[in-house]
Structure 1
Amino acid sequence: MTIPSTSVEDVPINGFHKLLTLRSGGGSFVDGYVLSIIGVVMVQVTEAMSLSSFWQGLIAASALIGIFFGGFLGGWLSDRFGRKRVFFVGPILFMLASLAQYWVESAQGLFALRFIIGVAVGIEYPVATALLVEFLPRKYRGPRLATLTILWFAGAAAAYVVGEIILRSGGQDAWRLVLASAVVVGAVLFALRLGTPESPRWLLSKGREAEAERVIRQVYGPEFSLRNLPEQRERKTLSFWSLLHSGYGKRMLFVTAFWTCSVIPVFAVYAFATTVLQALNLKGDWASFGSVAITLLFVLGCVIATRLINTVGRRSMLIHSFLWSGLALLGLGAYHTASESLILVLFGTYALFIGGAQVLTLVYPNELFPTEIRTFAVGVGTSLSRIGAAVGTYLVPVSLQSFGIAPTMYAAAIVTLVGLLFALALAPETRSLNLQQAASLT
């Protein structure tokens, strides 16, 4: 049999790649759903449990705190035990913790369950993205990883739509059904992932060449082999920290900084969407339907970014995303007493333009690190970025109560523009590189 000279990173996309995108992207959909669902019912939960502003902020931030621990854990588990096994941990935790929310009776209990959900989300980020990127051809790597962000916002939009339907048709305790509804999407995700193979790059990094060869033939065809995998054949066992000292520290700083600056305003908005819109003088249905409309614009922004990522390039997209979304937040601070239509236009502008930075939070981390530490690096980026996001989310009700909506919007704008500075200083361009070249320091 003649071995083709084509690298597996240059082959056409096939049915397996499409199914794997769905399997990995399903995790992003569930992430968006479970993280955003609390924002739908925060008003009802606050009334039912008589929550203080302290507990409102803590419950809203609890999942983000869980992500901090889950990111480290998921990265370490995936690098040590493989992508395939860890691929099922998140869905199991989603189902168990989401179902338990139906019977929760205290703020402490809800905090604990949201924390567990956050751990599951943190585990999802490194394993789902690394497994996908390690199979994808280079031409489709950026757009397919970006698709995961679209699915995150689609999950968030679904949470608001489903949540509003249940709240309007349910009784006094309808918020319990809203929170527990995530068990359904978690179960679908678990079933969808059955039959997923292990990453041949991870197998090769562990010296399991025969298994890696079998997966390559299974996915790409019997004529392909390890010779078609553009990966170093002889590997040294390197720890994450030794690789940081060898030159990856600057990349870790960039990933953590831009990721943090891109997610702080987004998570704060999703946790308190209706509250923020009400503070911007959108009342009643304006606030409820405005939340759904803005979420759909987030999805549209990610769709546009996905279409342009290989044309515009990673670096240029990140710079423009931070610039224009930051200016929109400044506008919300300056014109916070304006008409409902202007507020929605400015919020919609932010939602559209931040899509570029959002899709790159999954693209850059997976491209800039080698297989040995890819999931751990993504996990570290996930975890560290959520420190700021958790603090920012916790401070939203405190800031609104103590300082008002204008300073809160100005603070979000400053965070976004700091992300712009990091993009200008450190963002590389990787769109034309294969995975090994993108992760190389030379």
Structure 2
Amino acid sequence: MEKNIMLDDAPLNKFHIKITALTFGGNFSDGYALGIIGIALTLFAKQMNLNAVWIGLIGSSALIGLFLGSLVLGWLSDRIGRYKIFIFNFLLITVASFLQFFVDNGVELFILRTIIGIGLGGDYAVGVTLLAEFSPKKYRGHILGSLSALWTFGYVAATLVGFYLEDLGPDAWRWMLASSCIPALIILLLRIGTPESPRWLVSKGRIEEARQIVRKYVGFNVELAENIKELPSNFSALFSKKLGKRTAFSALFYVCLTLPYFAIYTFLPSILAHMGLKEDFMTDLLLNAFLLIGGLLGILFTVKFSRRFFLIGSFVILTISLFSLGVLPSISLSFTIISFIIFTLIMSAVSNLTQVYPSEVFPTEVRSSGVGMATSCSRLGSALGTFLLPISINAFGITVSILALTAVLLIGTIVTIFWAPETKGVSLNESAHDTHDKESAEKNKAIQ
């Protein structure tokens, strides 16, 4: 007779791989949708005579939607369940992506891109939560850390498709944007029939349903902790005494990473021109290669290092390398290129933690709300940075703009040093309340 084991300690099986692939698809689609707009927008803007304000709005529209979607749909997921939102997200994305082909002005494109962002935001909050709640503790870092790598693959795929479709004529941008509905539709169809999170069911008192799902998909000898206390499914718990600092940390570190990332890579041609380089297919291919390498390194670093060490070290390196990009072009092109390569590698690598940290910080009762809150704040910051960067470049120049983004990374460094908890190897059966109590007890013991 097989010995009973807990869900956190279950061996990896085919179902885990399937749910991982379905969540990966969401990150791939996000990277693709945000990557393709950078190429399509250059063609669309010329055809529609858009000014800098409209270019900034459309460039940041999906990020605005991500803010709304992760906040609202993340909260809704804690109330009505993960599965319904898991499906609804990609229904929105598929339909809105297809309708981009028929837009005739900036307003229509802005609205559709915002709707796509809402679906993607919901998926960030719910997809990573569902995956974390099924993943065995031993493999959680590997699995969640891989999500950002898949985002990078989507971003790179969009770049390659964009360059391939550029020769289709003046309406090439329509085909570029509408092409994002293809991976979205595939993911939507494959997600139908995904089981509900057993941890969420337990938090709602539906213990027998949770047991049946665990036995069917994970194993007959796998048990699920039933001591999860139900909390109100609202945002008030996120700002309680025991969770408030973790909520602030999750939001701030996420913002301080993604704001420079999206701002720089949305307007990459201007950054490359500042470095004395011209954007072409080979340059983009080389940069995308470094993004992919960085994403793969991030998976390794997530497993090898503690969460705190990886995040603090990355912030320090990113701050120094971006500062170099702001001041070195007038000194040395070689050092500038090296700084940009280092920035690209580390930014791609540490982005893996944006998928891992928030899902480990919050308890099951409000995990989706917490992840959604962190994601929404990051996308609001990214949207603001993406909107303001072209305006800042026109008003103050590229050097000042890059140094302003460096200041954001410096803030992230300070926040992480003082507030980042260590969550590597922590069981999701333990709520953040319990972890907080343990940390307090250890501090008191050390004082005594």
Q: Which residue of 2 aligns with 1:82?
A: 81
Query: Given the alignment of the two structures, is residue 392 of structure 1 paired with residue 385 of structure 2, yes or no?
Result: yes
Which aligned runs of 4 or more in structure 1 are off by greater than 6 angstroms?
A: none
* Residue type at the aligned position of 1:200: P
Aligned-partner SS, 1:87: helix
Shift of 1:79: 0.8
Aligned-partner SS, 1:435: coil
Shift of 1:248: 0.3
Shift of 1:340: 6.1
Shift of 1:344: 3.5
Q: Which residue of 1 aligns with 2:12?
A: 13
Is the 8 Å Cα contact of residues 97 and 113 (structure 1) preserved in structure 2?
yes
Q: Say which of 407, 417, 434 aligns to 2:427.
A: 434
Is the 8 Å Cα contact of residues 295 and 351 (structure 1) preserved in structure 2?
no
Is the 8 Å Cα contact of residues 231 and 366 (structure 2) preserved in structure 1?
no
Alpha-carbon distance in 2 for matches of 1:306, 1:148: 9
Is the 8 Å Cα contact of residues 211 and 224 (structure 2) preserved in structure 1?
no
Which 5+ residue runs of structure 2 have no aligned equivalent?
438-448
Map 1:17-416 to 2 at 5 A: 17-167=16-166, 169-224=167-222, 228-233=223-228, 235-237=230-232, 239-285=234-280, 288-337=281-330, 342-416=335-409
CA root-mean-square deviation: 1.8
Task: Give the TM-score normalised by structure 1.
Answer: 0.94
Is the 8 Å Cα contact of residues 329 and 409 (structure 1) preserved in structure 2?
yes
Alpha-carbon distance in 2 for matches of 1:234, 1:421: 34
Is the 8 Å Cα contact of residues 336 and 406 (structure 1) preserved in structure 2?
no
Q: Per-residue CA shift, 1:71-125, capped at 9, x if unaligned?
A: 1121122111111111112211111111111111111111111111111111111
Aligned-partner SS, 2:301: helix
Alpha-carbon distance in 1 for matches of 2:405, 2:229: 46
* Residue type at the aligned position of 1:13: L
Q: Which residue of 1 aligns with 2:441?
A: none
How many equivalent residue pairs? Answer: 435
Task: Give the TM-score normalised by structure 2.
Answer: 0.93
Shift of 1:360: 1.1
Aligned-partner SS, 1:172: coil
Alpha-carbon distance in 1 for matches of 2:226, 2:341: 43
Q: Which residue of 1 aligns with 2:444?
A: none
* Residue type at the aligned position of 1:76: W
Alpha-carbon distance in 2 for matches of 1:335, 1:217: 59
Q: Which residue of 2 aligns with 1:423?
A: 416
Shift of 1:9: 1.1
Is the 8 Å Cα contact of residues 90 and 119 (structure 2) preserved in structure 1?
yes
Alpha-carbon distance in 1 for matches of 2:418, 2:129: 26
Amino-acid identity (%)? 39
Shift of 1:42: 2.2
* Residue type at the aligned position of 1:83: R
Alpha-carbon distance in 2 for matches of 1:338, 1:120: 45
Quickly say closer, same or farther: Cα 1:7–1:59, change in 2 above 3 A: same
Quickly say closer, same or farther: Cα 1:404–1:218, change in 2 above 3 A: same
Is the 8 Å Cα contact of residues 197 and 215 (structure 1) preserved in structure 2?
yes
Alpha-carbon distance in 2 for matches of 1:153, 1:209: 38
* Residue type at the aligned position of 2:199: R
Q: Per-residue CA shift, 1:335-374, capped at 9, x if unaligned?
A: 2346765544322210111234311111111011111100
Is the 8 Å Cα contact of residues 282 and 340 (structure 1) preserved in structure 2?
no
Q: Per-residue CA shift, 1:148-167, capped at 9, x if unaligned?
A: 11101111111111111111
